[in-house]
Amino acid sequence: MTDNKAISRETLESMLKAINMGVLLVDQDCKVLFSNHFMSINSGRSAQELVGRTLFEAFPELPELWTRQKINSVFTLQNFAFTSWQQRPHLFNFESTRPISGMVRHMYQNCTFFPVQDADGGSLGVGLAISDTTDTAARQLELTHLNELLEEEKSAQALLIARLEDAQAQLLQSEKMAAIGQLAAGVAHEINNPIGFVCSNVNSLRRYLVDIFALLDAYEQASDETHAHAHPELAAMRDKADYNFMRQDIDELLTESVDGLDRVTRIVKDLREFSHVDSYEWQLADLHKGLDSTLNVIWNEIKFKAQVIKDYGDIEPIECMGSQINQVFLNLLINASHAVGADGEIIISSGREDGGVFVEITDNGHGIPLEIQNRIFEPFFTTKPVGMGSGLGLSLSYSIIVKHHGRLTVRSEPGRGSCFRAWLPLRQPLVQAHLASAVEGS
Amino acid sequence: MDTIALSEKRHTVMLVDDEESILNSLRRLLRGKPYDLLLATSGAQALSLFELHPIDMIVCDARMPFMDGPTLLREVHKRDPTCMNILLTGYADMSMITQAISDGYIFRYISKPWDDEELQLALDEALQVQNVLRDRDNPKALTSE
């Protein structure tokens, strides 16, 4: 094909023999007509041993059916065919000549099948050009491996981020609760002082009045007709002041005042019990008491929205962190009160189950759409408008219950209402160890 | 010593609180009791009164500026271990209270807001315990009567 007569046929042949890639020429029956040095060096067989045999005698590792089809199609259609190292990494079973790493022991090859014509332009046979792609393949494989590693790392990081979000949510909420607890304790102290003396004073006043009325009665007994005539202004004063009513009403007035003071006292006590500044530790707690004091704290938020029905079962005290469990109740009750519309109803039920106790808070509110039911426990997930919810309540409740080795589950039917159920074991498996380490640490 | 003699014996009781309203309400509550009352609005004032009068019992607020209740009562206990100390607390600082009780310098604590009846009972009880302790430490006085 060349115009340059200076290049002889021998020169071309020796170039073909010496070229640093495998060159084979086979006829239609796959008999080897030509094989170059590359093939000999890598197969360990001389050209004489290879030429004259079929491809499959010379290279038993070749897939016969596939190779025959390739060669036939190239021969018949006079077109090119190609197979890359990705498709057939080791078409010929050659060892790697330049191992980049110890991992690569076989030569990766690309192979081109091309038609070869004789001087008259007739089909002579099919040429195979085999190039060593070990370097590329090794790099490529390394990159793929690195990619996999990166992918793994990425998913590990995603997991870490999720955990961090969780931890941050908990931290935020527990900081908030700690602040509220401190505030509650401070307010409780400040309120308890005035309540203390007002209560006591009201009692003293009642005793004083008893004495004063006794005195007045005695005066009345002692005064006679002449005395009354001498001082008609006394009767007028008495009528003007509506003495009889006053005397009757004072008792009621004091009783009501004492009732009111009792209520303030109870609210302050509940607020403190709820925030439990003094009890961030494991203790036996009566969940019904926790529910009641929590209800008291948020009674104002609930009472205009929903009727609360208590259906308490017979449960025993469980080992828990009372303040944290109260937080869960608070979150669930507030959510329920946000969910209900007119004729709202919140049912609080409890009972024993499965070696533990459960508390269910059921509302007849708008329910939770199916597509977000599995997201509601995620931190920062909220459907409430900005400012109404942090998206932390349920995720925190969930982690608190999990920390107590319990389960928090939800059943909800959009439009019909939701039921949140917390199940808690009677005793904590790890508390003993906790206590032991706390004692050692102190 | 018979019970009539005991009930007729007047005790000196000091009330300490930085809030005068509290002192006044306590004073009203204890008006009918056979107590000579001393009132102090600070720890320092209480200590100087303590130097001047023999005092049987102190009812003291826990949180006061400058010198708080436990500090005052610890000081008092050092000077007169037989003085009955009762701590009034507005908030339950449990560690402080348990420390004070186990160190022995307060007889008991009562949380605010107090129940009038409970407070009176606590004071009676404290004085009874004090009488028993004093009799035990001074048996001669018993036999000579």
SS (H, E, C) A243-289: HHHHHHHHHHHHHHHHHHHHHHHHHHHHHHHHHCCCCCCCEEECHHH
Residues of chain B neighbouring A193 (CB-CB closer than 8 A) = 19, 22, 90, 112
pLDDT per residue over A141-171, tens digit each? 889 999 999 999 999 999 999 888 877 877 7
What the block records as the tokens of A385 is: 């408008």
* B65 and chain A in contact, CB less than 8 A: no
pLDDT per residue over B48-87, tens digit each? 999 998 999 999 988 888 888 888 888 888 888 888 999 9
How many CB atoms sit inside 10 A of residue A198's CB? 18
* A265 and chain B in contact, CB less than 8 A: yes
For testing the chain A interface, which of B18, B25, B39, B87 should be mutated: the one with the most A CBs within 10 Å?
Answer: B25
* B99 and chain A in contact, CB less than 8 A: no
What the block records as the tokens of A345 is: 């109803």
Helix (H) or strand (E) holding A130: strand A123-132
Cα–Cα distance, A202 to B88 (Å, whole number):
19
Domain, as residue range, for B55: 3-140
pLDDT per residue over A427-438, tens digit each? 888 655 554 444
Is B80 within a domain? yes
Residue A302 reports pLDDT greater than 90: no
A278 and B92 within 8 Å at the Cβ level: the answer is yes
Distances (CA, A) of A377 to A129, A210, A249, A259, A336: 62, 61, 55, 42, 15
Amino acid A245 reads F
Q: What is the pLDDT, as a whole number, of residue B92?
A: 59
Cα–Cα distance, A368 to A374 (Å, whole number):
10
Q: What is the pLDDT, as a whole number, of residue A202?
A: 93
3-class secondary-structure state, position A425: strand
Architecture, CATH, for domain A9-132? 2-Layer Sandwich (3.30)
How many CB atoms sit inside 10 A of residue A49's CB? 15
Cα–Cα distance, A244 to A171 (Å, whole number):
62
Residues of chain A neighbouring B19 (CB-CB closer than 8 A) = 193, 197
Residue of chain B whose alpha carbon sits nearest to that of A264: B113
DSSP E strand boundaries for A266-355: 283-285, 306-311, 318-320, 344-353
For chain A, the domains span 9-132, 175-278, 279-442
Percent of residues, chain A, with pLDDT higher than 90: 29
Residue A442 reports pLDDT greater than 50: no
Q: What is the pLDDT, as a whole number, of residue A278?
A: 47
Residue A31 reports pLDDT greater than 90: yes
For testing the chain B interface, which of A187, A189, A192, A197 should be mutated: the one with the most B CBs within 10 Å?
Answer: A197
Architecture, CATH, for domain A279-442? 2-Layer Sandwich (3.30)
A204 and B90 within 8 Å at the Cβ level: the answer is no
- Lookup result for tokens 């708008």: A366
* B83 and chain A in contact, CB less than 8 A: no
Residue A262 reports pLDDT greater than 70: yes
B112 and A195 within 8 Å at the Cβ level: the answer is yes
Torsions phi, psi for A54 (to 5 deg):
-80, 160
Mean pLDDT of A213-228: 83
Cα–Cα distance, A108 to A100 (Å, whole number):
12
Residue of chain A whose alpha carbon sits nearest to that of B20: A197
Residue A75 reports pLDDT greater than 60: yes
- How sure is the predictor about A388, in pLDDT bands with cuts at 50, 70 and 90? low
Of residues B69, B67, B78, the one with CA closest to residue B104 = B78
Instruction: Tell me the ipTM for this assembly.
Output: 0.74
Neighbouring-strand partners of residue A420? A361, A410
Amino acid B12 reads T
- How sure is the predictor about A419, in pLDDT bands with cuts at 50, 70 and 90? very high
Could you tell me which residue, A59 or A396, shows the higher pLDDT? A59
Mean pLDDT of A321-335: 86
Residues of chain B neighbouring A194 (CB-CB closer than 8 A) = 21
Residue A11 reports pLDDT greater than 80: yes
Instruction: Specify the length of chain A in residues.
Output: 442
Percent of residues, chain B, with pLDDT higher than 90: 15
Could you tell me which residue, A152 or A379, shows the higher pLDDT? A152
Amino acid A254 reads L
- How sure is the predictor about A248, in pLDDT bands with cuts at 50, 70 and 90? confident
How many CB atoms sit inside 10 A of residue B75's CB? 15
Chain A: give the shortest CA distance to residue B92, in Å: 8
Q: What is the pLDDT, as a whole number, of residue A362?
A: 93
* B122 and chain A in contact, CB less than 8 A: no
Which residues does A29 contact at the CB level (< 8 Å), separation at least 6?
A: A54
Q: What is the pLDDT, as a whole number, of residue A177?
A: 67
Q: What is the pLDDT, as a whole number, of residue A387?
A: 58
- Lookup result for tokens 């003396």: A197
Is B92 within a domain? yes
3-class secondary-structure state, position B141: helix
Is B145 within a domain? no
Residue A229 reports pLDDT greater than 60: yes
Is B94 within a domain? yes
pLDDT per residue over B102-124, tens digit each? 888 888 888 888 888 889 999 99
- Decide if A123 contacts A83 (C-beta within 8 A): no
A195 and B113 within 8 Å at the Cβ level: the answer is yes
A204 and B29 within 8 Å at the Cβ level: the answer is yes
**Ranges A89-93, A284-288, B90-94: which has the least confidence:** B90-94
Residue A73 reports pLDDT greater than 60: yes
What the block records as the tokens of A164 is: 């961090």
Torsions phi, psi for A364 (to 5 deg):
-105, 40
Q: Which of B22, B63, B114 sits opposite A189 (nearest CB)?
A: B63
Could you tell me which residue, A383 or A338, shows the higher pLDDT? A338
- How sure is the predictor about A441, in pLDDT bands with cuts at 50, 70 and 90? very low
Q: What is the pLDDT, as a whole number, of residue A3?
A: 57
Residues of chain A neighbouring B29 (CB-CB closer than 8 A) = 200, 203-204
A200 and B90 within 8 Å at the Cβ level: the answer is no
For testing the chain A interface, which of B21, B28, B95, B112 should be mutated: the one with the most A CBs within 10 Å?
Answer: B112
Q: Which long-range contacts (CB under 8 A, 24 or more apart) does A371-375 make?
A: A373/A410, A373/A412
Q: Tell me A355's DSSP state.
A: T
Of residues B97, B103, B98, B9, the one with CA closest to residue B60 = B97
Mean pLDDT of A241-250: 86
Number of domains observed in the structure of chain B: 1
* B63 and chain A in contact, CB less than 8 A: yes
B25 and A272 within 8 Å at the Cβ level: the answer is no
For testing the chain A interface, which of B91, B119, B123 should be mutated: the one with the most A CBs within 10 Å?
Answer: B91
Residue A405 reports pLDDT greater than 50: yes
Could you tell me which residue, A31 or B142, shows the higher pLDDT? A31
Residues of chain B neighbouring A182 (CB-CB closer than 8 A) = none
CATH code of the domain covering residue B123: 3.40.50.2300
- How sure is the predictor about A128, in pLDDT bands with cuts at 50, 70 and 90? very high
